[in-house]
Structure 1
Amino acid sequence: MRRLLALLAGLTLGASALGAAHARESRQERRDRIMSGANIAGVVAAEIAFAREAQEQGQWKAFRDFATKDAVMFVPQPVNARDWLKDRKEPAQAVDWDAHQVWSSCDGSLAVTRGGWSGPNGTHGVFTTVWRRQKKGEYLWELDQGEATAEPLKAPEFLEGNIADCPVGHDPRQRGTQPAVAKASNDGTLRYDWTISPDGKTRHFEVWMASGGTMKSVLNADFKVEG
């Protein structure tokens, strides 16, 4: 998590410089610009706060506090996270995690993070989390999944941030006019889907991002369904 904090500090400094360039815009214009554009720093900040609360206040409390009302998690079958987490007893030690990659829609309404996690007794694995921006600008997760791996996921030197191409004629100071679509960003530049194989043993997860005039697959992963 220290690496995420360092990245966030760098992104914050960059945001300060951009703020000077927009010093003359009105408060409403600034809010509309922030609310309509990609915000990698905001997603990273949400990931940091999520992981920190898990360590300081309890793993399942953090999952509840950062989940949307219809968030989905897999245990191993898909369940409504809030229902499953209600009154869930906290583990003696929470898992810790660190995002390695972030993909964001052009308008910033949807983002996906991927990284590694570590738990008690030397366990480790990989996770992916889908984040959706709320009406007030904060990010909450709407899908979370992970699995154990034989070896720890190797962390990159720097977190990789990826932003989808914007639609033609997109004005970053104006909110998108398209309605939110399940499993897609408001502007349609980032989409995801998950399916379970007919035999029930594998869950497939895929993310597509607008790039070069088409939707390209940027994350394609299979998770074993056990239990």
Structure 2
Amino acid sequence: MRRMTAAALALLLVAGCAGQPDDIRNRPLGPNPSGFVAAEIGFARLAQEKGQWTAFRETSAPDATMFVPQRVKARDWLRTQKDPVEAVKWQPHAVYVSCDGNVGVTTGAWQKGPANGYFSTVWLRDPKSGKTLWTLDHGDTLTTPRAAPEFIETKQAVCGSRPGVAIDGGNEGEDRAVGLSPDQTLSWTSVVSPDGARRVTVRLWDGTAMTPVIDDRVAAPTPQKP
């Protein structure tokens, strides 16, 4: 496991811009956990500059999904949303990356007024262009805010193996979806129950097994009184 401070991330980003333009265009894209952290930070900054739902729209993949609390196609749902006066703020605390570096999952904390919570976001990187867009986003409120870590933790899947990933059919009535990185070293499963409760689990290949690194569980929303 590696760790990076915000200052270290900035240095990595500057270093990535160094050199001749032709060198940059011709350089193969390798695994880069800091790139997903930078994408999340840029996403959060865009929300403050252009509006919360505008930022979600502009950074989403075509088939991205989110939860309200049932699963929805993000771009369809976001098309009708107006930006709130105050946009939520958020910060990444950790990132988990597939062996090939083309899928990353960030998780961290958010704040809006007196409310606090957490989020987890699945990012896809185009290996040719390097463009990074989110494909799944979810979060929930917390009674006690997540403490900001001194370092942003990064963890990358072990390379060299291509494990088969078993698919669990789940329970009757559940809305279940499974995502898998092209190299099969990172998977994400999202399950929504009929009552709106959900669970998002992310697993990394550690050389012998797909090990859970994120296991978010969101309770069903409280029914509104008539």
Do they fold alike, i.e. is TM over 0.5? yes
Band of TM-score, shorter chain: 0.7 to 0.9
User: 183, 192, 199: which is aligned to 1:196?
Assistant: 192
> Counterparts of 2:25 and 2:119 in 1: how far apart (Å)?
36
1:214 pairs with 2:209: yes
> Counterparts of 1:27 and 1:40 in 2: how far apart (Å)?
18
**Structure 2 residue aligned with 1:6:** 7
- Structure 1, unmatched stretches of 5+, are 170-181
1:100 pairs with 2:93: yes
2:198 alignment partner AA: R
Q: Please state how far the C-alpha of 1:200 moved relative to its aligned partner.
A: 2.3
**Aligned Cα RMSD in Å?**
2.5
Deviations 1:167-199 (A, max 9, x none): 259xxxxxxxxxxxx6111111111101123x5
Where 1:183 maps in the other structure, the secondary structure is strand
| Structure with the larger helix share | 1
1:123 alignment partner AA: A
> Counterparts of 1:163 and 1:12 in 2: how far apart (Å)?
19
User: 138, 152, 162: which is aligned to 1:145?
Assistant: 138
Percent of pairs with identical residues: 42
Q: 1:208 to 1:56 in 2, by over 3 A?
A: same
Residues 4 and 48 of structure 1 are in contact (CA less than 8 Å); yes or no, is this contact kept in structure 2? Answer: no
Q: 1:89 to 1:15 in 2, by over 3 A?
A: closer
Where 1:46 maps in the other structure, the secondary structure is helix
Residues 92 and 107 of structure 2 are in contact (CA less than 8 Å); yes or no, is this contact kept in structure 1? Answer: yes
Q: 1:89 to 1:28 in 2, by over 3 A?
A: closer
> Counterparts of 1:10 and 1:156 in 2: how far apart (Å)?
19
Where 2:160 maps in the other structure, the secondary structure is coil
Aligned residue pairs: how many?
A: 202
> Counterparts of 2:217 and 2:61 in 1: how far apart (Å)?
24
Could you tell me the TM-score, scaled by structure 2's length? 0.81
